Amino acid sequence: MIVGNRNRLAPLRTMKPIFLPLLLLTSGLSVRGVGQESLVNFSHLEHLTERIPFARDTVSIVHVYANYPDYQWVDAKESGPEGIACVDDAARAAVVYLRHYELTKDVRSLSQAKDLLKFVLNMQADDGEFYNFIHADHSINKDGKTSFKSFGWWASRAVWCMALGYRVLPSVDSAFAMRLQQGVEKSLPHVEKLLAKYGTYQTMQGYRVPQWLLYESGADATTELLFGLNEYYAATQDKKVKRLIEKLADGIMAMQDGDIKTFPYGLCRSWQTIWHMWGNGQTQALAQAGKMLKNKKMINSAEREAKGWYSRLLIQGFLKEMDVAAPGQKLEYEQIAYAMRPMIVGLIRLYEATGKAEYLKMAGRAGSWFFGNNVAHEQMYDPVTGRCYDGIRDSVTINKNSGAESTIEALHALVEVERYPVAMKLLNYRRTRGGESASSLYAVFENSQGDELTLVLDLKKSKVVVLEGEKSKKYGGGK
């Protein structure tokens, strides 16, 4: 969302340190493969979900907030009266359920996805744009600044889930898949309108700013639209969709500056001169598109961000946001699940595009944020309940509320991480020390058994190195 979703964290409260070892999984968790238990637990997401009559149909919605200690539903009111549920959350939940179904053939996930997709379809206007929120009486909020009919954040997520559904569902429900295709097709003219400004730039504080993305330079929102176009092209091989992907990707790549040695180290700006960690899915979108289209430029751009910027965040600590034109004004907090998923899944997609195992290991290192490897040393996701806390406000303060966004984003990350044992094994590692020299930045991570891993940003050779075992123990910090 433009405003509400960007600040969707309820009041923060403290908690005592806990850590649940990954071995302590219960039989109540969903299962990925015979005899293999999963960290992915949909219980809390299902608690947030309600089936309702809506637009002459029966659909599922996801309630926006659930607050500690009883985790009952709470309406959204941050940007005026918003409502009880929105396309933003329903679409992202549908994506997670669809991916879970695709990977596990879990029929319950299939059913949940379809009911959420019905809600999304019924929030689309005849012109292809989307409303976002519904009120408690199940009427559509048509006037709120986080809900008005438009083609932006919530429409991008809607296109994403509809396109993924169209790719995944034809073999199980061809009629419903066709409804999803029609929804995507109604949206495509709005993408074409963006490209009327293709090749047009502004200069802001010395940085080149493309004008053909959502909100003119909204690379963050555009990546979620690109996820949908990637899925739709994978399903259709439509050349006009390929052209849309390539031109939007050009705009996203134009928001990238610096390299592994030069500030701002290959990061992709989110909007104008601002970078923020939440929702910044450029690596994920470009790696996915680059692999699918066999486009090395896109893959190289994704690698440039991962090597130069993600490595620094993993070694030196996460940030909330920064203005690259005034980097001294960067903010460290709040840190949220929606900041972690783009990095984690982006690194996995980059591994899939390149075959380079260091990206899987970086993804596992990033995923350990959910299990205590964070500045507050607190476990943020609980596999027993399926809850993910809403954020870290400072080094000692945790928001124990667990709303839709944090729950969905955590589940999304874990559904993808669980496919790769190389990443999974690193979820229990914690940072123990680190440092820097003229030639490198590094951080050392250990698990409870004393196994060690060192992540090194080698500035001499312009590469990221992951050292394990004896190689890690022998590393001298590049001195």
Q: Where are the beta strands (DSSP E) in 234-311?
A: 274-276
Q: What pLDDT, on a 0 to 100 scale, did the predictor assign at position 445?
A: 97
Under 8 Å between Cβ of 302 and 353? yes
Q: How many Å apart are CA 244 and CA 21, to the nearest integer? A: 45
Q: Do the beta carbons of residue 267 and residue 312 sit within 8 Å?
A: no
Q: What is the reported pLDDT for 79? A: 67
The confidence score (pLDDT) of residue 28 equals 32
Which residue has tokens 């229990």?
A: 428
Determine the Cα angle at 409 with ends 408 and 411, to 5°.
65
Backbone angles phi, psi at 228, to 5 degrees: -65, -45
CA 435, CA 454: separation in Å to the nearest integer? 11
Long-range own/partner contacts, residues 457-466 (CB < 8 A, 24 or more apart):
457/260, 457/307, 457/311, 457/312, 457/315, 459/260, 459/261, 462/259, 462/260, 462/261, 462/307, 463/260, 463/307, 464/306, 464/307, 464/311, 464/358, 464/362, 465/358, 466/357, 466/358, 466/361, 466/362
All domains in the chain, ordered by first residue = 4-428 (1.50.10.10), 432-479 (no CATH)
What are the beta bridge partners of residue 53? 58
Q: Residue 414 has what pLDDT?
A: 98
* 10-residue mean pLDDT series, the chain (479 residues): 31 29 35 60 98 96 97 85 95 98 97 98 98 97 95 98 98 98 98 97 97 98 98 98 98 97 97 97 98 98 98 97 94 97 98 98 98 97 97 96 98 98 96 93 95 96 94 79
Residue 334: cis peptide before it, omega within 30 degrees of 0: yes
Q: What is the pLDDT of residue 478?
A: 54
CA-closest candidate to residue 291, choices 342, 349, 244: 349
Q: How far apart are CA 462 and CA 444, in angstroms?
A: 19
Whose tokens are 């705009």? That residue is: 251
The pLDDT score that the predictor gives to residue 204 is 97
At 386-418, the pLDDT tens digits run: 999 999 999 999 999 999 999 999 999 999 999
Read out DSSP for 14-42?
--------TT---TTS-B-STT-B-S---
DSSP string, 173-221: -HHHHHHHHHHHHHHHHHHHHHGGGTT-EEEETTEEEESSBTTBT-HHH
Q: Are strands 387-388 and 207-210 parallel, antiparallel or unpaired?
A: unpaired
Residue 354 and residue 283 in contact, taking contact as beta carbons nearer than 8 Å = no
Q: Are 376 and 397 in contact (CB under 8 A)?
A: yes
**Could you tell me which of 469, 478, 367, 353 has the C-alpha nearest to residue 424?**
367
For residue 329, the model assigns a pLDDT of: 87
Task: Answer for the pair 84, 423: CB distance below 8 angstroms, yes or no.
Answer: no
CA distances from residue 73 to 14, 50, 66, 84, 215 in whole angstroms, order as listed:
21, 10, 5, 8, 31
